[in-house]
Amino acid sequence: MLLVVNAGSSSVKVSLFEGDIELRRGLASEIGAQGHEAALAGFLADGFGAGLKAAAHRVVHGGAGLTAPCRLTDATIAAIEACVPLAPLHNPANLVGIRAMAKLLPDLPQYASFDTGFHASNPEVALAYALPTAERARGIRRYGFHGISYAGLVRHLRATVPAGLPKRLLGLHLGNGASLCAMVDGVSVATTMGYSPLEGLTMGTRSGSIDGNAVLRLAELHGIDGATRILNRESGLLGLGGSSDMRALQAAGTPEAGFARAHFAYWVQRHAGSMMAAMGGLDAIAFTGGIGENDAEMRAQILQGLAWAGQVPAYVVAAEEERSIAIEAQALMARGL
């Protein structure tokens, strides 16, 4: 048995796997920053700990050094902690989950998969911002996210498409957080998110790409904390249409809601052109994530806007990030790592 742990700032999700079969899942929410250990202890006492051979964690940011799933050691945990300045909202929570499991079951092997790792294959010209050397040396560069989702998407299509994995694949992870990924032979060559999950598409509450001077103006008007709040929590679909939920926008039928949906589709289409350029064409499209899987009208609108690229297969793939984490950890275990 393997326990997949996804620790957030005030919540923890767990999934129990045997092989690639999910047996159970659990969620503890509104637990605060200090409640992870108690929540995990409760899950373990409630049957999630029976026959457990390992735990595997989702870690949002692995920086430039942690680019593949790995067994957690003091050194790798220190490297995750070193990435906290790059993901201050995510990595601290991930570390809390890791340390809580280590305290509860100190002899249990632990593994981690990184949302940034899948995009480490991007060429340097795609990763680098045109900044002075000293600033780039601080780690200010594009990293990309949703990598665990894209790895699972590739694995699914490889196993299920009769003709094999499409060579030039455009992946669309569309949810409250949204991104695109250009993949050639299953390898990421470009993605829309950058230094943080703010860059790229219009999202649920995030603005997506915005001129740096506009960010500076917001900081001037509202302070850094205020600008951070506006860009990450008050913008996107919420700022345009009054709700971060695509279903609510679709039901509202107001001009503002319609504009928000149109804005989302437009920027998916526009960034898709950039992704196609990065991989030299297009052989297939794959949707995943809450919007990508469930909003057929939005999928149709996006595909209509990409019709100029020619008729290619379009797939809908369930986002199964926990299963991907479990598969990656068990592959390491099978190699004795």
Residue positions annotated with a catalytic role = 115
Separation between Cα atoms, residue 184 and residue 179, nearest integer Å:
17
Beta bridge partners, 187, equal: 184
In eight-state DSSP terms, residue 162 is: T
The SS3 call for residue 179 is strand
Considering only CA atoms, which of 185, 92, 111, 188 is closest in space to residue 149?
188
CB half-sphere exposure, 307, CA atoms < 13 A: 4
Residue recorded with tokens 């997949």: 4
Beta bridge partners, 13, equal: 6, 27
Separation between Cα atoms, residue 134 and residue 114, nearest integer Å:
26
Considering only CA atoms, which of 162, 216, 14 is closest in space to residue 101?
14
What stretch of H or E contains 160?
helix 147-160
In eight-state DSSP terms, residue 234 is: S
Residue recorded with tokens 């994530």: 289
Separation between Cα atoms, residue 25 and residue 171, nearest integer Å:
27
